[in-house]
Amino acid sequence: MGAGRFAPSPSGPLHVGNLRTAVLAWLFARSTDRRFLIRVEDLDRVRAGAEAIQLTELAALGLTSDSPVIRQSEQADRYDRALEQMQSQDLVYECFCTRRDIAEAAAAPHADPGLYPGTCRNLSDGERARRRAERPPALRLRAAVETWAVDDVLAGRFRAPVDDVVLRRNDGVISYNLAVVVDDAAQGIDQVVRGDDLLASAPRQAYLASLLGLPIPTYAHVPLALAPQGRRLAKRDGAVTLEDLADLGHPPSTVLAVILRSLGLPGSSLAAALEAFEPTLVPRDPWIVDPEKLLSTILDAAPQQSASTDKVHP
């Protein structure tokens, strides 16, 4: 049996947009007879206590992992094996560029914005040795293609550039792009549902999977929740987390109802939403969340919910 997943970074409480994506990942998995897994992506941004808070928030909505939750920080051996495999195929090279070097290269005429220009790809052995004495190198992919395509349930056939992405940072931490590919394959995850801000990274991740001989998952990149100004929703926008809303007297069951109704689904329960769920009918536009209007929407939804004393604080 395959699996879908929700994989948050433990950087703080999840807001209603994050939770909406988690609900969608659960619905996609359950509607296709897959397991639903939760993975903590803690290689980079970590805030003390955030993991426990996030898992409690998800459980309050009825979203729990069908297998024990794993943490990327505990999978170093898995990543090292993948990196060694790629090194044995001459697919890796050392890169000594600083962020400033890369930014300046990207600003040069005819440069492709956001793509690494290959500055360190063909350094001589002597030059590499000299630079290695000055700073530890990152490890980059020696890509053999310029673009790669994936099939997305919502976006259709999507092709994007593939550059020499970082595989391991110069501080020794494995990169997000490699870690998620290795983790998904190891966990049997063959369905990736996540925010559409990550759509552009899917082709390079699928390409990495192909180089490692790993299966490429089915993708579904879903619209984000945005603030009224059009920027990504954040906790600074007001009462948009379960904790904030609970403090205002709105239990998780009512917040879940609002999330489900924003997807055009029955708000009474996850089970009722699952019965009505059709992946191709997922709204394609961002969910605009105005905290003041969200509160009124929650108040409208509250009478449809039974009295609840749901708690979200761990």
Which parts are annotated binding residues?
5-9, 41, 95, 97, 116, 120, 176, 194, 235
Longest dimension (CA), the chain: 72
Distances in whole angstroms, Cα of residue 112 to Cα of each of 12, 90, 104, 139, 169:
34, 25, 12, 21, 22
Nearest to 7 by CA among 172, 160, 189: 189
Cα 204 to chain centroid distance, Å, stands at 14
CA atoms lying within 13 Å on the CB side of residue 115:
16
Sheet holding 218-222, edge to edge: 70-71, 35-40, 3-6, 189-195, 218-222, 147-152, 156-161
Cα separation, 193 vs 24, whole angstroms: 7
Which residues belong to the annotated binding site for Zn(2+)?
95, 97, 116, 120
Which residues belong to the annotated binding site for ATP?
235
Which residues belong to the annotated binding site for L-glutamate?
5-9, 41, 176, 194
- Find all residues with CB under 8 Å of 36, minimum gap 6, and list them: 3, 4, 5, 6, 25, 26, 29, 30, 63, 65, 66
